[in-house]
Amino acid sequence: MIREVAFDLLDRVQSDDAYANLLLPTLVSRAKLDSRDAAFVQELAFGTIRNWSLYEKIIELASNRKIDDIEPAAQLVLVLGVHQLLDMRVPSHAAINESVNLAKKKASKGSVGFVNAVLRKVSLKDRAEWLESALVGASGIEALSIRFSQPVWIVQAFKAALSSRGIGDDLQKLLASNNMAPRVSLVALPGFCKPEDLHADARDENPSPIGVAVSGNPGGIELVQKGFARVQDQGSQLVALALAEARIETEDRNWLDVCAGPGGKAALLAALSLTSGTSLVANEVSKHRADLVSKALKPLGTFELRTSDGREFGNQDKRYSRILLDAPCTGLGALRRRPESRWRRTTDDLVDLVKLQRELLESAWKALEPGGVLAYVTCSPHLSETTAQVSWAQGKFKDKLELVNANSILNSINPHLGLDEELFTAQLWPHVHGTDAMFLALMRKSVN
Protein backbone atom coordinates (compact mmCIF):
# COMPACT_ATOMS: atom_id res chain seq x y z
CA MET A 1 0.00 0.00 0.00
CA ILE A 2 2.66 2.56 0.97
CA ARG A 3 4.55 2.14 -2.31
CA GLU A 4 1.30 2.47 -4.21
CA VAL A 5 0.79 5.86 -2.57
CA ALA A 6 4.28 6.93 -3.66
CA PHE A 7 3.57 5.66 -7.18
CA ASP A 8 0.28 7.58 -7.35
CA LEU A 9 2.04 10.73 -6.16
CA LEU A 10 4.70 10.49 -8.88
CA ASP A 11 2.07 9.68 -11.47
CA ARG A 12 0.05 12.77 -10.58
CA VAL A 13 3.17 14.98 -10.49
CA GLN A 14 4.15 13.75 -13.94
CA SER A 15 0.77 13.61 -15.67
CA ASP A 16 -1.25 16.34 -13.91
CA ASP A 17 1.49 18.82 -12.92
CA ALA A 18 0.47 18.29 -9.28
CA TYR A 19 2.59 19.76 -6.49
CA ALA A 20 4.01 16.94 -4.41
CA ASN A 21 3.94 18.82 -1.10
CA LEU A 22 0.26 19.74 -1.55
CA LEU A 23 -0.90 16.37 -2.86
CA LEU A 24 0.93 14.17 -0.34
CA PRO A 25 -1.33 14.89 2.69
CA THR A 26 -4.44 14.07 0.65
CA LEU A 27 -3.06 10.73 -0.56
CA VAL A 28 -1.78 9.82 2.89
CA SER A 29 -5.14 10.61 4.46
CA ARG A 30 -7.03 8.68 1.81
CA ALA A 31 -4.83 5.63 2.37
CA LYS A 32 -5.18 6.01 6.18
CA LEU A 33 -1.44 5.71 6.73
CA ASP A 34 0.07 6.16 10.17
CA SER A 35 2.84 8.69 10.77
CA ARG A 36 5.63 6.15 10.23
CA ASP A 37 4.29 4.96 6.87
CA ALA A 38 3.56 8.56 5.83
CA ALA A 39 7.18 9.48 6.55
CA PHE A 40 8.35 6.52 4.45
CA VAL A 41 6.16 7.62 1.54
CA GLN A 42 7.49 11.18 1.74
CA GLU A 43 11.12 10.05 1.82
CA LEU A 44 10.55 7.62 -1.05
CA ALA A 45 8.53 9.94 -3.30
CA PHE A 46 10.38 13.21 -2.68
CA GLY A 47 13.79 11.53 -2.85
CA THR A 48 12.86 9.92 -6.15
CA ILE A 49 11.64 13.23 -7.60
CA ARG A 50 14.86 14.99 -6.56
CA ASN A 51 17.01 12.35 -8.29
CA TRP A 52 14.70 11.56 -11.18
CA SER A 53 17.02 12.32 -14.11
CA LEU A 54 19.97 10.51 -12.54
CA TYR A 55 17.83 7.44 -11.91
CA GLU A 56 16.62 7.48 -15.50
CA LYS A 57 20.25 7.43 -16.68
CA ILE A 58 21.00 4.50 -14.38
CA ILE A 59 17.94 2.65 -15.67
CA GLU A 60 19.08 3.22 -19.25
CA LEU A 61 22.54 1.86 -18.40
CA ALA A 62 21.12 -1.17 -16.60
CA SER A 63 18.51 -1.99 -19.24
CA ASN A 64 20.26 -0.98 -22.46
CA ARG A 65 17.06 0.86 -23.39
CA LYS A 66 16.21 4.52 -23.79
CA ILE A 67 13.90 5.63 -21.01
CA ASP A 68 11.23 6.73 -23.50
CA ASP A 69 11.09 3.18 -24.87
CA ILE A 70 9.97 1.88 -21.48
CA GLU A 71 6.29 1.75 -20.56
CA PRO A 72 5.45 4.89 -18.47
CA ALA A 73 4.06 2.93 -15.52
CA ALA A 74 7.14 0.70 -15.49
CA GLN A 75 9.34 3.84 -15.54
CA LEU A 76 7.72 5.02 -12.31
CA VAL A 77 8.09 1.63 -10.66
CA LEU A 78 11.75 1.53 -11.69
CA VAL A 79 12.72 5.00 -10.46
CA LEU A 80 11.05 4.26 -7.12
CA GLY A 81 12.92 0.95 -6.97
CA VAL A 82 16.27 2.54 -7.81
CA HIS A 83 15.82 5.09 -5.04
CA GLN A 84 15.15 2.34 -2.52
CA LEU A 85 18.21 0.39 -3.69
CA LEU A 86 20.68 3.27 -3.84
CA ASP A 87 19.51 5.94 -1.41
CA MET A 88 17.32 4.38 1.28
CA ARG A 89 17.83 1.92 4.09
CA VAL A 90 15.71 -0.72 2.36
CA PRO A 91 17.28 -4.21 1.97
CA SER A 92 17.86 -5.06 -1.68
CA HIS A 93 15.63 -8.13 -1.64
CA ALA A 94 12.75 -6.11 -0.17
CA ALA A 95 13.21 -3.23 -2.62
CA ILE A 96 13.17 -5.62 -5.58
CA ASN A 97 10.29 -7.82 -4.37
CA GLU A 98 8.09 -4.86 -3.44
CA SER A 99 8.83 -3.18 -6.77
CA VAL A 100 7.86 -6.34 -8.65
CA ASN A 101 4.61 -6.49 -6.68
CA LEU A 102 3.99 -2.85 -7.51
CA ALA A 103 4.63 -3.55 -11.21
CA LYS A 104 2.04 -6.33 -11.09
CA LYS A 105 -0.56 -3.82 -9.86
CA LYS A 106 0.39 -0.76 -11.88
CA ALA A 107 2.19 -1.85 -15.06
CA SER A 108 1.48 -4.27 -17.88
CA LYS A 109 2.04 -7.99 -17.40
CA GLY A 110 4.94 -7.92 -19.85
CA SER A 111 6.80 -5.30 -17.79
CA VAL A 112 6.95 -7.32 -14.57
CA GLY A 113 9.89 -9.49 -15.57
CA PHE A 114 11.67 -6.48 -17.08
CA VAL A 115 11.36 -4.54 -13.82
CA ASN A 116 12.72 -7.51 -11.89
CA ALA A 117 15.71 -7.93 -14.21
CA VAL A 118 16.65 -4.23 -14.29
CA LEU A 119 16.47 -3.77 -10.52
CA ARG A 120 18.49 -6.92 -9.90
CA LYS A 121 21.20 -5.51 -12.15
CA VAL A 122 21.03 -2.12 -10.39
CA SER A 123 21.46 -3.87 -7.02
CA LEU A 124 24.87 -5.24 -8.11
CA LYS A 125 26.49 -1.78 -7.74
CA ASP A 126 26.23 0.97 -5.15
CA ARG A 127 25.30 4.58 -5.85
CA ALA A 128 28.88 5.77 -6.28
CA GLU A 129 29.61 3.09 -8.89
CA TRP A 130 26.47 3.87 -10.87
CA LEU A 131 27.19 7.59 -10.68
CA GLU A 132 30.68 7.00 -12.06
CA SER A 133 29.14 5.12 -15.00
CA ALA A 134 26.56 7.86 -15.58
CA LEU A 135 29.27 10.53 -15.67
CA VAL A 136 31.35 8.90 -18.41
CA GLY A 137 31.99 11.51 -21.11
CA ALA A 138 30.48 14.38 -19.09
CA SER A 139 32.33 17.35 -17.62
CA GLY A 140 31.74 20.80 -16.18
CA ILE A 141 28.14 21.95 -15.89
CA GLU A 142 26.84 18.81 -17.59
CA ALA A 143 28.56 16.59 -15.02
CA LEU A 144 27.14 18.66 -12.16
CA SER A 145 23.70 18.42 -13.75
CA ILE A 146 23.95 14.63 -13.77
CA ARG A 147 25.52 14.29 -10.33
CA PHE A 148 22.94 16.49 -8.58
CA SER A 149 20.03 15.70 -10.89
CA GLN A 150 19.25 19.32 -11.74
CA PRO A 151 18.79 20.59 -15.31
CA VAL A 152 21.76 22.26 -17.01
CA TRP A 153 20.01 25.63 -17.33
CA ILE A 154 19.27 25.69 -13.59
CA VAL A 155 22.87 24.80 -12.71
CA GLN A 156 24.04 27.60 -14.99
CA ALA A 157 21.61 30.04 -13.35
CA PHE A 158 22.82 29.10 -9.87
CA LYS A 159 26.44 29.50 -10.92
CA ALA A 160 25.79 32.98 -12.29
CA ALA A 161 23.83 34.04 -9.20
CA LEU A 162 26.47 32.77 -6.79
CA SER A 163 29.26 34.40 -8.81
CA SER A 164 27.44 37.74 -8.74
CA ARG A 165 27.67 37.56 -4.94
CA GLY A 166 31.34 36.57 -4.98
CA ILE A 167 30.72 32.99 -3.83
CA GLY A 168 30.90 31.10 -7.12
CA ASP A 169 32.91 28.32 -5.45
CA ASP A 170 29.78 27.38 -3.46
CA LEU A 171 28.01 25.90 -6.47
CA GLN A 172 28.30 22.25 -5.43
CA LYS A 173 27.26 23.10 -1.86
CA LEU A 174 24.14 24.82 -3.16
CA LEU A 175 23.27 21.97 -5.53
CA ALA A 176 23.71 19.46 -2.71
CA SER A 177 21.52 21.50 -0.36
CA ASN A 178 18.74 21.52 -2.97
CA ASN A 179 18.61 17.73 -2.64
CA MET A 180 18.31 17.72 1.14
CA ALA A 181 14.91 17.73 2.83
CA PRO A 182 14.56 21.00 4.78
CA ARG A 183 13.69 21.24 8.44
CA VAL A 184 10.12 22.19 9.23
CA SER A 185 10.05 25.82 10.36
CA LEU A 186 7.27 27.66 12.15
CA VAL A 187 6.65 31.37 12.50
CA ALA A 188 5.36 32.66 15.82
CA LEU A 189 3.06 35.49 14.75
CA PRO A 190 3.90 38.64 16.76
CA GLY A 191 1.19 39.60 19.21
CA PHE A 192 -0.29 36.11 19.16
CA CYS A 193 2.53 33.92 20.45
CA LYS A 194 6.29 33.80 21.00
CA PRO A 195 8.91 31.39 19.64
CA GLU A 196 9.50 29.97 23.12
CA ASP A 197 5.83 28.93 23.25
CA LEU A 198 6.43 26.41 20.46
CA HIS A 199 8.00 22.97 20.72
CA ALA A 200 11.26 23.94 19.05
CA ASP A 201 14.25 21.71 18.39
CA ALA A 202 17.34 22.59 20.41
CA ARG A 203 19.59 23.25 17.43
CA ASP A 204 21.63 26.08 15.99
CA GLU A 205 20.26 29.59 16.12
CA ASN A 206 17.31 30.17 13.85
CA PRO A 207 17.73 32.65 10.97
CA SER A 208 14.52 34.46 11.93
CA PRO A 209 13.97 35.90 15.43
CA ILE A 210 10.34 34.74 15.29
CA GLY A 211 11.09 31.37 13.69
CA VAL A 212 11.70 27.94 15.18
CA ALA A 213 12.48 24.49 13.77
CA VAL A 214 10.37 21.55 14.89
CA SER A 215 10.38 17.80 14.49
CA GLY A 216 7.39 15.65 13.68
CA ASN A 217 3.95 16.85 12.63
CA PRO A 218 3.45 20.55 13.51
CA GLY A 219 -0.30 20.05 13.16
CA GLY A 220 -0.31 18.61 16.66
CA ILE A 221 0.84 21.90 18.21
CA GLU A 222 -2.07 23.82 19.76
CA LEU A 223 -0.86 27.25 18.65
CA VAL A 224 -0.63 25.98 15.07
CA GLN A 225 -4.16 24.60 15.34
CA LYS A 226 -5.36 28.03 16.47
CA GLY A 227 -3.61 29.75 13.57
CA PHE A 228 -1.30 31.77 15.81
CA ALA A 229 1.77 29.95 14.51
CA ARG A 230 2.25 28.74 10.94
CA VAL A 231 4.54 26.54 8.91
CA GLN A 232 6.73 29.03 7.05
CA ASP A 233 10.26 29.06 5.71
CA GLN A 234 12.39 31.42 7.74
CA GLY A 235 13.57 33.25 4.63
CA SER A 236 9.97 34.27 4.01
CA GLN A 237 9.75 35.52 7.58
CA LEU A 238 12.90 37.61 7.18
CA VAL A 239 11.80 39.45 4.04
CA ALA A 240 8.47 40.40 5.65
CA LEU A 241 10.24 41.57 8.79
CA ALA A 242 12.66 43.63 6.70
CA LEU A 243 9.80 45.44 4.96
CA ALA A 244 8.25 46.28 8.33
CA GLU A 245 11.63 47.50 9.67
CA ALA A 246 12.58 49.70 6.70
CA ARG A 247 12.55 53.44 7.36
CA ILE A 248 9.86 55.37 5.52
CA GLU A 249 9.43 59.11 5.00
CA THR A 250 5.66 59.32 5.14
CA GLU A 251 2.86 58.53 7.55
CA ASP A 252 2.73 54.77 8.07
CA ARG A 253 -0.93 53.95 7.54
CA ASN A 254 -1.70 51.53 4.73
CA TRP A 255 0.08 48.33 3.79
CA LEU A 256 -0.47 46.22 0.68
CA ASP A 257 0.40 42.63 -0.20
CA VAL A 258 0.01 42.57 -3.98
CA CYS A 259 0.30 38.80 -4.57
CA ALA A 260 -0.81 37.44 -1.21
CA GLY A 261 -1.64 33.80 -2.04
CA PRO A 262 -1.50 31.38 -0.37
CA GLY A 263 -1.30 33.71 2.63
CA GLY A 264 1.83 32.94 4.64
CA LYS A 265 3.55 36.31 4.32
CA ALA A 266 0.15 38.06 4.41
CA ALA A 267 -0.54 36.50 7.82
CA LEU A 268 2.80 37.74 9.16
CA LEU A 269 2.22 41.22 7.74
CA ALA A 270 -1.28 41.19 9.23
CA ALA A 271 0.10 40.39 12.68
CA LEU A 272 2.76 43.10 12.31
CA SER A 273 0.17 45.63 11.13
CA LEU A 274 -1.88 45.02 14.26
CA THR A 275 1.09 45.69 16.50
CA SER A 276 1.94 48.89 14.60
CA GLY A 277 -1.60 50.23 14.27
CA THR A 278 -1.65 50.17 10.48
CA SER A 279 -4.11 48.58 8.05
CA LEU A 280 -3.39 45.80 5.56
CA VAL A 281 -4.93 45.07 2.17
CA ALA A 282 -4.23 41.54 0.94
CA ASN A 283 -4.77 40.94 -2.76
CA GLU A 284 -4.67 37.76 -4.85
CA VAL A 285 -5.70 37.32 -8.47
CA SER A 286 -6.63 33.62 -8.20
CA LYS A 287 -9.98 32.88 -6.51
CA HIS A 288 -8.70 29.59 -5.09
CA ARG A 289 -5.58 31.19 -3.66
CA ALA A 290 -7.60 34.17 -2.42
CA ASP A 291 -9.70 31.71 -0.42
CA LEU A 292 -6.49 30.39 1.12
CA VAL A 293 -5.49 33.95 2.07
CA SER A 294 -8.88 34.48 3.70
CA LYS A 295 -8.45 31.27 5.67
CA ALA A 296 -4.92 32.30 6.73
CA LEU A 297 -6.04 35.70 7.99
CA LYS A 298 -9.30 34.71 9.68
CA PRO A 299 -7.80 33.70 13.09
CA LEU A 300 -6.02 37.06 13.34
CA GLY A 301 -8.92 39.45 12.80
CA THR A 302 -10.63 41.34 10.02
CA PHE A 303 -8.60 42.60 7.06
CA GLU A 304 -9.46 43.93 3.63
CA LEU A 305 -9.20 41.16 1.03
CA ARG A 306 -9.30 41.69 -2.71
CA THR A 307 -9.41 39.30 -5.62
CA SER A 308 -7.97 41.28 -8.50
CA ASP A 309 -5.08 41.57 -10.91
CA GLY A 310 -2.13 43.16 -9.10
CA ARG A 311 -1.37 45.15 -12.25
CA GLU A 312 -4.48 47.27 -11.58
CA PHE A 313 -3.32 48.88 -8.32
CA GLY A 314 -1.25 51.53 -10.06
CA ASN A 315 -4.38 52.90 -11.72
CA GLN A 316 -6.29 53.34 -8.45
CA ASP A 317 -6.37 56.41 -6.18
CA LYS A 318 -5.35 54.76 -2.92
CA ARG A 319 -1.66 54.82 -2.00
CA TYR A 320 0.27 52.63 0.42
CA SER A 321 3.20 53.30 2.75
CA ARG A 322 4.57 49.74 2.59
CA ILE A 323 4.01 47.29 -0.25
CA LEU A 324 5.08 43.67 -0.53
CA LEU A 325 5.40 42.36 -4.07
CA ASP A 326 6.19 38.67 -3.71
CA ALA A 327 6.28 38.23 -7.45
CA PRO A 328 5.40 35.06 -9.37
CA CYS A 329 8.71 33.44 -10.33
CA THR A 330 10.38 30.20 -11.34
CA GLY A 331 10.61 29.09 -7.70
CA LEU A 332 14.19 27.91 -8.11
CA GLY A 333 14.92 29.00 -4.55
CA ALA A 334 12.59 26.36 -3.09
CA LEU A 335 13.82 23.19 -4.81
CA ARG A 336 14.29 21.58 -1.40
CA ARG A 337 10.57 21.82 -0.66
CA ARG A 338 9.20 21.65 -4.20
CA PRO A 339 11.54 19.20 -5.92
CA GLU A 340 9.31 18.77 -8.96
CA SER A 341 9.87 22.42 -9.93
CA ARG A 342 13.25 21.54 -11.41
CA TRP A 343 11.55 19.32 -14.01
CA ARG A 344 8.54 21.57 -14.58
CA ARG A 345 10.18 24.91 -15.29
CA THR A 346 12.09 25.76 -18.48
CA THR A 347 13.93 28.80 -19.79
CA ASP A 348 10.85 29.58 -21.87
CA ASP A 349 8.97 30.33 -18.64
CA LEU A 350 11.37 33.18 -17.89
CA VAL A 351 10.17 35.32 -20.79
CA ASP A 352 6.58 35.53 -19.56
CA LEU A 353 7.55 35.69 -15.89
CA VAL A 354 10.01 38.56 -16.37
CA LYS A 355 7.36 40.50 -18.30
CA LEU A 356 4.75 39.87 -15.58
CA GLN A 357 7.19 40.80 -12.81
CA ARG A 358 7.91 44.14 -14.48
CA GLU A 359 4.23 44.89 -14.99
CA LEU A 360 3.49 44.10 -11.34
CA LEU A 361 6.51 46.09 -10.21
CA GLU A 362 5.43 49.15 -12.21
CA SER A 363 1.90 48.91 -10.83
CA ALA A 364 3.12 48.53 -7.24
CA TRP A 365 5.49 51.48 -7.67
CA LYS A 366 2.63 53.71 -8.85
CA ALA A 367 0.57 52.58 -5.83
CA LEU A 368 3.40 53.46 -3.44
CA GLU A 369 3.08 56.62 -1.35
CA PRO A 370 6.01 59.06 -1.82
CA GLY A 371 8.37 58.26 1.04
CA GLY A 372 7.04 54.71 1.23
CA VAL A 373 8.94 51.45 0.70
CA LEU A 374 8.29 48.66 -1.78
CA ALA A 375 9.72 45.20 -1.14
CA TYR A 376 10.36 43.27 -4.34
CA VAL A 377 10.71 39.59 -3.43
CA THR A 378 11.24 36.39 -5.38
CA CYS A 379 11.81 32.82 -4.26
CA SER A 380 14.44 32.54 -6.96
CA PRO A 381 18.07 33.63 -7.26
CA HIS A 382 17.93 33.71 -11.07
CA LEU A 383 19.53 37.00 -12.13
CA SER A 384 16.80 37.69 -14.69
CA GLU A 385 14.24 37.66 -11.87
CA THR A 386 16.32 39.48 -9.28
CA THR A 387 19.07 42.06 -9.85
CA ALA A 388 18.17 42.50 -13.51
CA GLN A 389 14.66 43.53 -12.45
CA VAL A 390 16.09 45.98 -9.92
CA SER A 391 18.31 47.51 -12.61
CA TRP A 392 15.27 47.80 -14.88
CA ALA A 393 13.31 49.56 -12.11
CA GLN A 394 16.18 51.96 -11.44
CA GLY A 395 16.28 52.86 -15.11
CA LYS A 396 12.49 53.17 -15.31
CA PHE A 397 11.90 55.25 -12.18
CA LYS A 398 15.29 56.99 -12.20
CA ASP A 399 15.95 59.50 -9.39
CA LYS A 400 12.58 58.79 -7.77
CA LEU A 401 13.85 55.37 -6.66
CA GLU A 402 16.21 55.06 -3.71
CA LEU A 403 17.52 51.55 -3.13
CA VAL A 404 17.47 50.82 0.59
CA ASN A 405 20.23 48.60 1.98
CA ALA A 406 18.31 45.36 2.53
CA ASN A 407 21.40 43.55 3.81
CA SER A 408 21.93 46.14 6.52
CA ILE A 409 18.34 45.77 7.69
CA LEU A 410 18.48 41.98 7.68
CA ASN A 411 21.76 42.02 9.60
CA SER A 412 20.15 44.29 12.18
CA ILE A 413 17.35 41.75 12.53
CA ASN A 414 19.85 38.89 12.90
CA PRO A 415 23.59 39.74 12.95
CA HIS A 416 24.46 36.07 12.43
CA LEU A 417 23.20 36.25 8.84
CA GLY A 418 26.50 37.89 7.90
CA LEU A 419 25.16 39.49 4.72
CA ASP A 420 27.46 41.72 2.67
CA GLU A 421 26.36 45.30 3.35
CA GLU A 422 28.36 46.60 0.41
CA LEU A 423 25.56 45.10 -1.69
CA PHE A 424 22.14 46.70 -1.28
CA THR A 425 19.97 43.81 -2.49
CA ALA A 426 19.82 40.67 -0.35
CA GLN A 427 20.09 37.05 -1.43
CA LEU A 428 19.57 34.25 1.08
CA TRP A 429 20.86 30.73 0.41
CA PRO A 430 19.85 27.30 1.74
CA HIS A 431 23.47 26.14 2.13
CA VAL A 432 24.50 29.35 3.95
CA HIS A 433 21.45 30.52 5.88
CA GLY A 434 19.33 27.38 6.04
CA THR A 435 16.45 29.15 4.27
CA ASP A 436 14.95 29.09 0.81
CA ALA A 437 16.96 31.17 -1.67
CA MET A 438 14.85 34.31 -1.17
CA PHE A 439 15.78 37.54 -2.94
CA LEU A 440 14.88 40.95 -1.48
CA ALA A 441 15.15 44.49 -2.84
CA LEU A 442 13.78 47.42 -0.85
CA MET A 443 12.89 50.49 -2.92
CA ARG A 444 11.93 53.82 -1.35
CA LYS A 445 10.07 56.43 -3.41
CA SER A 446 11.47 59.94 -3.17
CA VAL A 447 9.18 62.58 -1.68
CA ASN A 448 10.55 65.23 -4.03
pLDDT of residue 139: 95
Give domain status of residue 175, yes or no: no
User: Domain check: are 329 and 410 in the same one?
Assistant: yes
Q: Residue 43's closest CA among 81, 8, 106, 88?
A: 88
**How many residues belong to the chain?**
448
Give domain status of residue 66, yes or no: yes
pLDDT of residue 203: 54
Give domain status of residue 101, yes or no: yes
Instruction: Please give the average per-residue pLDDT across 167-173, as a whole number.
Output: 97
Q: How many other CB atoms are there within 10 angstroms of residue 400's CB atom?
A: 16
Q: Which long-range contacts (CB under 8 A, 24 or more apart) does 222-227 make?
A: 223/188, 223/192, 223/193, 223/197, 223/198, 224/186, 226/299, 227/267, 227/296, 227/298, 227/299, 227/300
Give domain status of residue 162, yes or no: no
Give domain status of residue 433, yes or no: yes
Q: How many other CB atoms are there within 10 angstroms of residue 184's CB atom?
A: 17
pLDDT of residue 111: 94
CATH of the domain at 311: 3.40.50.150
For 197-216, letters b (16+ CB in 10 Å) and e give ebebeeeeebbbebbbbbee
Q: Please, are residues 86 and 127 in contact by the beta-carbon 8 Å criterion? A: yes
Rounded Cα distance between 307 and 285, Å, is: 5
Distances (CA, A) of 46 to 88, 206, 311: 12, 25, 35
Q: Which of the listed residues 107, 130, 153 is the one where a domain comes to its end? A: 130
- Catalytic member of 193, 259, 329, 379: 379
How many Cα atoms within 13 Å fall on the side-chain side of residue 307?
10
User: Domain check: are 226 and 256 in the same one?
Assistant: no
Using the predicted structure, report yes or no on whether residue 205 has a pLDDT greater than 80: no
pTM: 0.94
Per residue in 221-277, pLDDT (tens digit) is: 999 999 999 999 999 999 999 999 999 999 999 999 999 999 999 999 999 999 999
Using the predicted structure, report yes or no on whether residue 202 has a pLDDT greater than 60: no
193 is catalytic: no
User: Domain check: are 285 and 393 in the same one?
Assistant: yes
Q: Please, are residues 249 and 404 in contact by the beta-carbon 8 Å criterion? A: no
User: Domain check: are 261 and 201 in the same one?
Assistant: no
